[in-house]
Chain A
Amino acid sequence: MRPKQLLSIAALSLILLSAGHSLLAQTRVVAGKVIDSKDGAALPGISIVPNGTSIGTQTDSTGNFRISVPSSVTNLRISAIGYQAQDVSIIGMTFIEVALTATYTSLNDVVVIGYGTAKKKDLTGAIGSVVERDFNKGIYSSPDQLIQGKVTGVQMTTANGDPGSAITIKIRGSSALSGTGQPLFVIDGVQLDGRAFQERDNPLNFINPNDIASIDILKDASATAIYGSRAAYGVFIINTKSGQAGAPKLDVSVSAGISSILKKVDVLNPAEYRDAISYYNANPGNDKGSNINPFDAILQDAWQQNYSLAYGGGNENNKYRFSVGYQNKDGIVKNTNFKRYNAGMTASTKLLSSRKLGLDFNLNGSQYVRDGSGVFINDDLTNGNDNVIRTALQWNPTDDLYNADGSIKIIPNGPQNPLSQLNNIRANLKVTTLLASITPSYKFTSWLEYKLLLSVNYSTGTLRSEVNQATFPGFPGLASIRNFELTTEQVTHTLNFNKKIFPKLNLNALAGYEYLKFTSKGYGLSGIGVGGVGFGDYGLDYTNYVQYSDAGSRGISSYLDPSSELQSFFARAIFNYDEKYLLTATFRADGSTKFGDENKYGYFPSFALAWNIAKETFFNVRWVDALKIRGGWGKTGNQEFPPGSAQALYAFRNNGNLGQINNPNPNLKWQSDQQFDLGVDFSLFDHRLSGTIDYFNKKTTNLLFPSPPIQPAPPGSTVRWINLDGEIINKGFEFAVSGGIIRNEKFNWDLTVNTTFLNNSVSGLPVPIYTGFVNGPVETIQNGLPMNAFYTRKFLGLDKASGFSVYQDDGTKMYYVGDPNPKMLLGISSTFRYKKLSLIANMNGSFGQDIYNATLMTSLGVGGIQGGSNIASSVYHDPVKENYANPVTPSSRYVQNGDYFKLNNLTLSYELGNVANTFKNMVIYLTGQNLFMITSYQGFDPEVNINNSINGIPSLGIDNVRYPSSKSIIVGINFSL
């Protein structure tokens, strides 16, 4: 698709949109009230639409509504998410009272299943679905955080605590030998590239969480296979809000809060430090005489605020919604901040007198800005000793951070002052994203619809960083600017067939063609100040005048990645016999430019069956409302390797030299994942108790692996992409149970518990693989062990006489000493409602995983007491006195239990309803995030995953001076006008 053609289509579509609307006939007025069938409570915000019309309204906070309807209308459709919709006759009535029944089991909720939707009760695959009312409350920088702990089988790990940083999402365990292992993100049918400017950025930062209506997670292969070669790690479907039929209304949401550090790392205080100097016989000069807490000096009370406005409305045939959002979130480390500006527009219309031509528009523009003290934000500056968290932990607690004159103390060639780093190493990342799509559709008949989706997702970012010359004496300063552009273009044609082909047999079939194109390019430039002159002390950001730098010091580069295109054909058929027997079959053929000539196309089938036992006449158990057994098998792929890996590439390098950079493999193909899933969905006791149980077994083969090159190989090339023999199996059970423990007119208590048991194993690899770089590899991927098993020296303790470490076999042999994969995930959600007051608590935990505490090893070892930096309390309090010359060698000494349980969200909210006849549906709430955490782990947060990959082979569960996590208190108010 060329831009010009896109334009002409857009123009055509606009012309179509401006076509006329029909007029309404003579009307009458109907009023009414909607209540909950259980407790008789008034239900606000219920949609009232006269059947066969394009008008509509909503109930107010007292559950009342009033609507003018054409005299021809005989029924009103009363509906709301979470309730069973009803058609109510209004023949001869001017006032009606309707009692809606809550669908606590959500069986009638509509779930987006990829290129279509299905009712939850008709699903054959394992899909986790979370709608807005169940989202985590609070101020989030990206929408993935809305469902943390809510879906079984989904492990979400916040790698770093700074706002806007990436989250590791692992759906049903760890199987990535390369790449990110992240699921495919799909927003309103648009597939995202998945990459961000840099690894530590969350690729979903550009989306305003307030615009999200629901998130569906496709977990098993029978559900994901329709996405083929990009779906091996699951599919994360984000559905944004669209306009609702009814009078136009303005939704306002305002919240603000404050955060502070969740947990500190225990280092010596000044008194202990003095004791330690004499205890270890260290240099007495290390006692500098002061008493300070250097870590507190880099922290701040972090304020955050979030504003969201949405204006929407429409009728049955034309709906629209505009939204704007602004978020400003400080990090708990000084000088770190995240801001986002959002504007979105969505509209859908049905055209022609027949209403057969539909047109959906979606436009979302967003910019986010991350400010950092260099240390964070910028991948490049994070490595090494520039990390302010590290230097703050290490700073001698008896040494002042300031000179007598109030200036920041700089110790030439000595330890770096964390405050100097905060002020002098700065980075600013600005990312602007545009996501636009247009979806014309045509309903040929009631059972046949054609749909076209055209979309462009364009994102550009600039990272400006500066190391001020004040960092240390004589340093002339450094400025660096990097820019990137990511573009994804998508064209999807689908034809949907949905018809009863026999009296009891319904066929819902889909056929489609899709084309995706990914483009990535960018540039960078940097310079160091002229010796003796520097960048000067003008108070300006050095990146504003890089040309002032020393000409010889400049670095410049630019790139355009090799093209990456995907062309796909797919089909799905869902047979539904009498609502009892369901069969889903899908098939996708994916062609990719990345694959070698021998393997241009990959084929991904899936099958699933479901049996609604409760519908059978022979099944006559009163207390069982719904019971469904389902099973499925499918095959998906992963093609997450760099484009250009199948053919030889020569790169232009500095100063006119050109050389081959890669080890081409023309036989390269996708990685294959086969997954088997068996599940039971049930709803019992009048829907008081419902749940889902799943067993899954996922086998990953043809592992995409960045293998070492075979020498002689191009200089500097570190990988040769291959499909490696071997198998990674992830299997486990998922349980989700929801119960209405107390339900009466005034008081309700619902409790949902979800747990996942995971088991992970590796077999068939020809050679062991090593990764997890902490002064050398500490993890292995090898047969008979779980993925990323900690594999290092076995620490036997400290020798009492010498104070040196003692290792099994003198440290010459490596052992399996820990497993970073959790064995059990737990999520608990409890909701109390008393009249208009509700208290929601979300807790989540992860158990059975170990963490490699590299912070302790690299930064807080005993050597600091002689070197003049701080050490960990655990080192000092060890019963055996360690020699401060004890070498810092990776070993099981640093493998710690990573079990944790967190109260990640506690929200108290009160529904004020309508206030002063102006504010409608007003809700005020108070939320606490991460109010407590139970763990024995010694780092900031056991929920950690700092990338220590080797040659692109991911590491897992290594903590190396992460940005600390925070706890927050937030107040908010939502209302409509």
Chain B
Amino acid sequence: MKSKANIFRILFFLLIVAGCTKLKETAGGNLTPGQVSTDTAADVLLRATYASLEYTFTSYQEMLPLTTFTTDEAIAPTRGGDWDDNASWRVFHEQKWDADNSHIRNCFNSLGGVVYAATDLLKYNATVQQKAEARFLRAWAMYLILDMFDQVPYRDPGESLIEPARVRQGLDALAYIIDEINAVEPDLPDGPADVANKFAAKTLLMKCYLNKAVYANRASPTHDPADMDKVIALADQIINSGNFDFSIQYFNNFSPTNAADGKENIFTQQSNADGNYVLQFAWQAVTHYYQGGFNGFTTLSDFYNKFEATDKRRGIAYDYSNSPPNPGRRVNVGFLADQQYNLEDDSPLDFGDGPLIYTPEVTNILPGPNLAMPGIRPLKYPPDNANFDFRGTPCTNEYVYFRFPDVLLMKAEAIWRGGAATSAGPYGNTALLIVNAVRTAPSRSATALTTLSADDLLDERGRELWWEGWRRQDMIRFGKFLLPFQEKNYASDPKYLLFPIPSEQLAVNQLYLHQNPGY
């Protein structure tokens, strides 16, 4: 009987051991919001917010097709078996995209991510400046969403993520963005450029006012001189700060050392914020396989021909830290045209079956026989060659959001559009003088214009700001976006002034989002 008693004791013991659990989930190697608020400083959340902006600009996948391939500045040709990708690229230049386009969807999502990360930070303990930086980054992302999609979804800090997000639209969204920028500007630092700063805030405000008429009526904007005056006043504040000047070389603004040498840079993307810096795509996406790239995007001959041959912005033999020896002084930055050379020994490049020659004419679908070479290649960011040997390591070029010449050209345009002319700095007090100040700066060396038409202004913005993501906005503001241009020989439907709300987002937020007209 004793053994029996033992058995029961064991059984009893086992039953106790197996007592019910509460089924409380722990976060494993992650943190719950409770742990974040008690154990974490907001600076790590802020770093993540900056990092969240990176990919959408520095990859060629999101902002670039929407802001640039849709215009006369660039094209993403389908090269036989290459670059078809479910036809998702060529629709941009053709202006035939739809609400299922993956690039449009991803761009909308990435910008939404920035809005979320910045908003989420606000629910934790943070310094005044940290919160101001986060709110500025949010305003920047919201501005881009407004510009491209018109409808700007938003959430309050701590809001449930399974509920649809509310939406601000058009001028309401713009008013909110302007209020936010004004509210945080006093708490932002003066610099450096890769931190949200006062001058970045002023530049973004200039964009808001310069394009305000567009957000009211994209098809035929009417600019209010009062808004232009605000643009001019903000420009003068930036000029008079004395913080910005032309760089010694135009491409210093984009070089691997542009954080130090880019005197024109007002706001840039912090490089290496999360170790997955992807700016190398800026050169990989355009150059041929034999130059280490993917042989993708090109400019068009009409755009290339807008430059004078002497205009250094078109391309130069450029020496910079980590640049190749380039003994033949070949154009190694800017637009790469004609025969390409090995920059180590100046031997002409041969892509296996003939010389590698970039030819100016290019079509949306290349008909052959020549598939690899058509198209002049835009190489704005000098490759950080030291960090371009197959490694995933960061290149040190900082992606440029706002630049001082843009401020000058916006001021010139505001005067041209009826704002009251002012004089600030050495740049003159008329639109023509200011434009010529940019053109004739030694780092540009273009000839001065004698008159200034709308086309001149738009073209100058194109020459100065190519591959910087402003062409779509500029062409819309000048009423040229829908008109025929090279490799789009028809006028487009006005619906293309806006991108569609991605159908995937429309499906999950039917309460507040609606499809943009025409889609």
List the interface of chain A (C-beta within 8 A of B).
Answer: 1, 5, 9, 12, 281-283, 285-286, 352, 357, 411, 413-414, 440, 442, 450, 452, 474-476, 491, 493, 513, 515, 521, 528, 531, 550, 552-553, 555, 558-565, 567, 591-594, 600, 643-644, 646-661, 663-667, 707-717, 720, 722, 766-767, 775-776, 811-812, 861, 863-864, 866-868, 883-890
Is the pair B165, A474 in contact by a Cβ cutoff of 8 Å? no
Q: Is the CB of B17 within 8 A of A5?
A: yes
Stretch at the interface among B18-26, B299-307, B446-454, B489-497: B18-26
Query: Does B508 count as interface, using CB distance less than 8 angstroms?
Result: yes
Which residues of the other chain, B, contact A476 by a CB distance below 8 angstroms?
A: 389-391
Residues of B within 8 A of A658 (CB): 31, 36, 40, 44-45, 47-48
Q: CB < 8 Å: which of A491, A515, A643 contacts B25?
A: A643
Q: Is the CB of A550 within 8 A of B154?
A: no
Q: Is B28 an interface residue (CB 8 A)?
A: yes
How many Å lie between the Cα of A282 and that of B390 in the bound state?
32
CA distance in complex: A715, B165 (Å): 15
> How far does the alpha carbon of A720 sit from the alpha carbon of B507 in the complex, in Å?
13
4 extra A-B contacts, CB within 8 A, seeds A513-B18, A650-B40, A651-B31: A593-B25, A863-B80, A885-B371, A888-B84
Q: Which B residues from 151 to 174 make CB contacts under 8 A with A?
A: 153-155, 161-165
Q: Which of B30, B44, B102, B366 contacts A657 (CB 8 A)?
A: B44
Report which of B20, B29, B44, B81 forms a contact with A521, defined as CB distance below 8 A.
Answer: B29
Across the interface, B28 reaches (CB within 8 A) one of A560, A591, A646, namely A560
Docked complex Cα distance between A493 and B15 (Å):
8
Q: Which of B79-133 contact A (CB under 8 A)?
A: 79-82, 84-88, 98, 102, 108-110, 112-117, 119-120
Q: Is the CB of A712 within 8 A of B153?
A: yes
Among B61-69, B272-280, B398-406, B465-473, the one that faces the other chain is B272-280
Partner among A475, A594, A711, A886 whose Cβ is within 8 Å of the Cβ of B108: A711
In the assembly, what is the distance between CA of A87 and CA of B29, in Å?
Answer: 61
| A553-B392, A647-B27 known; A887+B80 contact, CB < 8 A | yes
Q: Nearest Cβ distance between residue A766 and chain B, in whole angstroms?
A: 7
Ordered by A's residue number, 5 sampled pairs between the chains whose C-beta atoms are within 8 Å are A513-B18, A650-B30, A651-B30, A711-B509, A715-B52
Q: Name A9's contact: one of B14, B26, B27, B30 (CB within 8 Å).
A: B14
Chain B, Cβ-Cβ closest to A517: B21
* Set B3, B11, B116, B162: member contacting A450, Cβ < 8 A: B11
CB pair A712 B11 closer than 8 Å: no
Q: How far apart are B271's CB and chain A's nearest CB, in angstroms?
A: 11
B508 to A707, Cβ gap below 8 A?
A: yes
CB of A653 within 8 A of CB of B17, answer: no
Q: How far is the CA of A884 from the CA of B88 in the complex (A)?
A: 20
In the assembly, what is the distance between CA of A574 and CA of B32, in Å? 46
Contact B353 A550 (CB under 8 A): no
Known contacts A491-B18, A493-B15, A647-B27; A710 and B392 CB within 8 A of each other: no
The residue on A at minimum CB distance from B15 is A493
Q: Does B518 contact A (CB under 8 A)?
A: no
* B30 x A887 contact (CB < 8 A): no
Interface assignment of B7: CB less than 8 Å from any CB of chain A = yes
B30, A710: Cβ atoms closer than 8 Å: no
Known: A657-B273, A712-B155, A887-B78. A414 touches B352 (CB 8 A): yes
**CB-CB < 8 A to B112: which residues of A?**
709, 711-713
Complex Cα distance A5/B289, Å? 62
- Chain B positions within 8 Å of A593 at CB level: 23-25
Q: How far is the CA of A666 from the CA of B45 in the complex (A)?
A: 24
On whether the beta carbons of B80 and A886 are closer than 8 Å, the reply is yes
Query: In the docked arrangement, what's the CA distance between A657 and B53, Å?
Result: 13
**Docked-complex contact A713 and B86, CB < 8 angstroms:** no
Q: How far is the CA of A866 from the CA of B31 in the complex (A)?
A: 54
Contact among A555, A567, A664 with B161 in the assembled complex (CB-CB below 8 Å)? A664
Output the least CB separation between B85 and chain A (Å). Answer: 5
Residues of B within 8 A of A531 (CB): 386, 389, 391
**Which residues on the A side are within 8 Å of B390 (C-beta)?**
474-476, 528
Bound together, the chains give a CA A720 to CA B367 distance in angstroms of 43
Which B residues are in CB contact (< 8 Å) with A716?
A: 52, 113
Chain A residues, CB < 8 A from B182:
none
**Complex-state Cα separation, A202 to B81, whole angstroms:** 34
For residue B102, which residues in chain A have a CB less than 8 angstroms away from its CB?
776
Q: Could you tell me the distance between the alpha carbons of A867 and B161 in the complex, rounded to whole angstroms? A: 48
A714-B117, A776-B86 as given contacts; A561 in contact with B161, CB under 8 Å: no
Give the docked Cα–Cα distance between A675 and B33 (Å).
Answer: 40
- Which residues of chain B are near A352, meaning CB under 8 Å? 3
Q: Complex formed: what's the CA distance from A282 to B44 in Å?
A: 56
Closest chain-B Cβ to A556's Cβ sits at a distance in Å of 10
Tell me the complex Cα distance, A892–B114, Å: 39
Contact check, B116 vs A563: say whether CB atoms are below 8 A apart: no
Asked if A775 meets B84 with Cβ closer than 8 Å, knowing A658-B36, A658-B48, the reply is: yes
Contacts of A708 in B (CB 8 A): 109, 504-505, 507-508
Please count how many residues in chain B sit with their CB below 8 Å of the partner chain's CB atoms.
92
B116 touches A552 (CB 8 A): no
A591 contacts which chain B residues (CB < 8 A)? Answer: 23
- From A283, A565, A644, A885, B30 is in contact (CB under 8 Å) with A644
Which residue from A357, A559, A647 sits with its C-beta under 8 Å from B32?
A: A647
Q: In the complex, A888 Cα to B3 Cα: how many Å? A: 78
Q: Which residue of A lies closest to B117 (CB)?
A: A715
Residue numbers in B under 8 Å from A667 (CB-CB): 162
Q: Within the assembled complex, what's the spacing in Å between the Cα atoms of A558 and B29?
A: 8
| Complex CA distance for A711 and B509, rounded to whole angstroms | 9
A561 near B11 (CB under 8 angstroms)?
Answer: no
Whether B353 lies near A868 (C-beta < 8 A) is: yes
Q: Which of A413, A647, A651, A713 has the most CB of B within 10 A?
A: A713
A306-B28 Cα distance, complex, nearest whole Å? 41
Question: Which of B45, B275, B505 contacts A711 (CB under 8 A)?
Answer: B505
Q: How far is the CB of B122 from chain A (nearest CB, A)?
A: 12
Closest residue of A by beta carbon distance from B121: A659
What's the least CB distance linking A591 to chain B, in Å?
5
A889 x B33 contact (CB < 8 A): no
B residues near A775, Cβ cutoff 8 Å: 84-86
How long is the Cα–Cα vector from A186 to B189 in the complex, in angstroms? 62
Which of these, B25, B274, B392, contacts A563 with CB under 8 Å?
A: B25
Q: Which residue of A lies closest to B504 (CB)?
A: A708
Q: Are A562 and B27 closer than 8 Å at their CB atoms? A: yes
| B14, B20, B289: most-surrounded residue (chain A CB, <10 A) | B14
Determine how close the nearest CB of chain B comes to the CB of A884; give it in whole angstroms: 6
Residue of A282, A646, A708 most packed against chain B (CB within 10 A): A708
Within 8 A of A (CB), among B344-372: 351-353, 365-369, 371
- How far is B365's CA from A883's CA once the two chains are assembled, in angstroms? 12
Q: Determine whether the beta carbon of A281 is less than 8 Å from that of B507.
A: no
Question: Known: A553-B393, A884-B80. Contact between A12 and B10, CB under 8 A?
Answer: yes
B482 is an interface residue with CB less than 8 A from chain A: no
Alpha-carbon distance A450/B292, docked complex (angstroms) = 69
CA distance A227 to B352 in the complex (A): 62
Contact A657 B33 (CB under 8 A): no
Q: Contacts A657-B44, A711-B112 known; A649 to B32 CB distance under 8 Å?
A: yes
Contact with A811, one of B81, B87, B351, B352 (Cβ below 8 angstroms): B87
- The answer to whether B81 and A863 touch across the interface, beta carbons within 8 angstroms, is yes
Assess whether A646 is in contact with B21, with CB atoms less than 8 Å apart: no
- Set of chain A residues within 8 Å of B165, measured between Cβ atoms: 710-712
- Nearest residue (CB) in A for B138 is A712
Contact status A649-B30, CB under 8 Å: yes
By Cβ-Cβ distance, the 4 closest A-B pairs, closest first, are A776-B86, A711-B112, A715-B113, A863-B81
CB distance from B357 to the nearest CB of A (A): 15
State whether A654 and B508 are in contact (beta carbons under 8 Å apart), knowing that A649-B32, A885-B80 are contacts in the complex: no
Chain B neighbourhood of A707, CB < 8 A: 508
Contact B162 A646 (CB under 8 A): no
Closest to A645 in B: B25
Set of chain A residues within 8 Å of B162, measured between Cβ atoms: 663-667, 710, 720, 722
Q: B residues within 8 A CB of A650?
A: 30-33, 35-36, 40
Closest residue to A708 on the B side, CB-wise? B504
